[in-house]
Chain A
């Protein structure tokens, strides 16, 4: 489908279409790239001279083509995306080279020329649609505003156009929902609204900057499917910026791998992902957790030292653990309801975050807990270590019921129950050195100072940190290192149960795999039982013996991990698995077809 035949909206009438004038349409020549970047260099002023974010980057995007810009945080991919819309203007950044979009060179064009380009010829979709949309105006209002700015149509026509595009991106009863404000939409709906805004003027190029990173896996699949559909239907070119190779795989024709501001490798997506030539790309590709990879193969291929292989902790198999006697923790019909505020009049239904979950945690196993946001997985994790008091139910651990034990009697048990938190940046006290933070649990339990120093040094060494850096503060560490500090702090008391709540979801993919390997290592060494809470199904498979799937506060399915991934019994588990991005483009296309078929069947 070529760009000169826009077939964007089936129900379009001449009236509610922006009058993209004829001259503009003619300017799109299918052979000529709609985006051409040559020798792009972006530098930000820093304390010690310039910080170069992008250096000597060149690429081109033909009409209707899709390019994936892939890299880890700090690779310069987002800076590049912003430069395509001239959004570095006025920020102090120095942009040089040539950025041609729809025939306009953004490095030399005047402000008015750039403004007219934005939203009309090139539109951008941002990562977090909640903050990217203005909270004070309705969604329809904001889309209509874009139409009016670029086409000069009247209010009524602009509003009609907003409703049309909202309908196009799959917002149900768009006429009514156009009046909703962003906060009244779910995360996926917000991103649809953002895409609708991008469609408002039928741009030639869509720039999507991590469009699905903030979304759940099933919603991510829907949004990616939508983008794919729009691209094939309307012939828009797509620049997809992402850190997730899985997201790029099924959605672009070519990829460009960036690292430290330079293009490392580029080529057709099938070739780059299946046979990367550069070492960095190979490393990146191998770090991505794959849904089809089992736990055993990861432990072996990761080359983990003898620790795991010869450790006392056996690869827990079903027969072993069922005969192993008492589980370490037995959770029975546990509930957590959060009361909604209501006073005098109007008592509201409580939020049932966890609603009747029963499960055993076996000694020495790694139990994965997966679910989408709002499934109650974090609430459940926090109840396991009694950071939250259950509303009802029992949690048996070591002969005690954690759910009802008073805090005073709970304290001696606390050292056996430790937690690693999602965001190492905010779960470490920024005003305490990492050495102090790691030693604090010991201090609480009355260990003397020389002993603490020794234990901290040992623990830092164990998690792969240099003990000489104990007197540094958290901000001097990278994300991955901070999470190592968090792990050291949790392990310093030698707990028996370690609950990790999304321990790697804030980290880059290559850092992720190193932390996961570290956890696997430590599990053997410290004789730990691990609970691994995460939304990333592929990652969970690699670390877990058994996996529990949660949805709206309930346990949907609990099974040995290979059994669960190979033969999911519950339809929700099947949906989740079908939505996971595949690294193999062929497989990604197949899954998309499966999803489409399911959708067609459903409605």
Chain B
């Protein structure tokens, strides 16, 4: 257990390090000048441009910039802005080129939105996906199985910006059951929070539910054909118990580990859903900062995404080891 964790932590650090190098490299290979964007494209004089460049630290060699970023992350760093010197404590992700806000604060601001979206969608996609998958495996070849197959095909092939738009059209324009969503925080107005998120939840859950339904069905069929299910029947267990206690346990265990990884991914990459429904989440922030060449924010978000996925993987391994005693973490 301890060697396992040590290895995973070291591995995670290496992955994140490599990730930050890659993002820095890509950023400087791309055309475009962030200083020019901050300064303004037409109105900017050469002197002012140089000043902005110096203020953002872009006049330094790339290696130095990267080194500053790393030290900031580990021990914090001091940033001078004119006569004043700010201290940015570790883990310092730097400041946005565009707004001068600390990147950490920007992320912290938007994390609750992404968390709300992901958590709600997860509950939905699990209920629909796993429920549909199990039913379809148990009624193999019957109507419900075919219906699920159609749903899976639809869910996987319709992109979220189509299904999301359809949802908006139907529920906000034609039926007018819901107002056009604009995010309200859970703390200030729980009912408003749910109302604003119900459509994004469904839009996001649709794709994932389709994936989970397909996987659950396969996994369930495989488990049902295993010898120990025959044993359970041969010893007179009721069918409900055979399915509920023996088959589901085997079929859902691999899904639990996949879920841990998926949640990490969806958390930071639901940009389409967030943009479509005007949710100020992390995905939306990522798209904005890429468009404005806001390097500190992009790096911060990419590292967060990497971190979420790495953590998700470790959690998946731990969950698997708890659920299946045959697995030992070494």
Residues of A at the B interface (CB closer than 8 Å) are 85, 87, 115-120, 123-124, 126, 128, 131-137, 145-146, 149-150, 181, 183-184, 197, 341-346
Contacts and interface: CB of A to CB of B under 8 A. Distances in A.
Contacts of A115: 236-238
B234 A345 contact: no
A579 to B, nearest CB: 26
Interface of B: 2-3, 6-7, 10, 226-228, 230-238, 241, 245-246, 249-250, 253, 323-326, 330
B142 to A, nearest CB: 13
Contact of A135 (B7, B241, B245, B324): B324
A594 B273 CA distance: 76
Given A134-B249, A346-B2, A346-B330, 8 more contacts: A85-B234, A132-B227, A134-B232, A135-B326, A136-B246, A149-B241, A341-B330, A343-B7
What 10 A-B pairs are tightest by C-beta distance, nearest first?
A119-B235, A118-B236, A119-B236, A131-B227, A345-B3, A134-B228, A132-B227, A146-B235, A136-B249, A183-B326
A136 B232 CA distance: 13
A135 B228 contact: yes
Contacts of A344: 3, 6-7, 10
A120 B253 CA distance: 31
B interface, by DSSP: helix, strand, loop or mixed? helix
B253 A136 contact: yes
30 contacts: A87-B233, A87-B234, A115-B236, A116-B236, A117-B236, A118-B234, A119-B236, A119-B237, A123-B235, A124-B234, A126-B227, A132-B227, A133-B228, A134-B228, A134-B231, A135-B250, A136-B250, A136-B253, A136-B325, A137-B246, A145-B245, A149-B236, A149-B238, A149-B241, A181-B326, A183-B325, A183-B326, A343-B7, A345-B2, A346-B330
Contacts of A123: 234-235
A115 B241 CA distance: 12
B320 to A, nearest CB: 12
Contacts of A184: 325
Contacts of A132: 227-228, 230-231
Contacts of B234: 85, 87, 118-119, 123-124, 126
Contact of B237 (A85, A137, A149, A183): A149
A438 B307 CA distance: 52
Nearest to B231: A132
A121 to B, nearest CB: 9
Which of A123, A128, A342, A343 gathers the greatest number of chain B CB atoms within 10 Å? A343
Contacts of A343: 3, 6-7, 330
A178 B330 CA distance: 26
Nearest to A121: B236
A134 B246 contact: yes
A150 B2 CA distance: 44
B285 to A, nearest CB: 37
A120 B236 contact: yes
A141 to B, nearest CB: 10
Contacts of A150: 236
B15 to A, nearest CB: 16
A530 to B, nearest CB: 36
A284 B90 CA distance: 80
A51 B249 CA distance: 35
A181 B327 CA distance: 12
A470 B329 CA distance: 48
Nearest to A143: B235
Contacts of A149: 235-238, 241
A345 B330 CA distance: 10
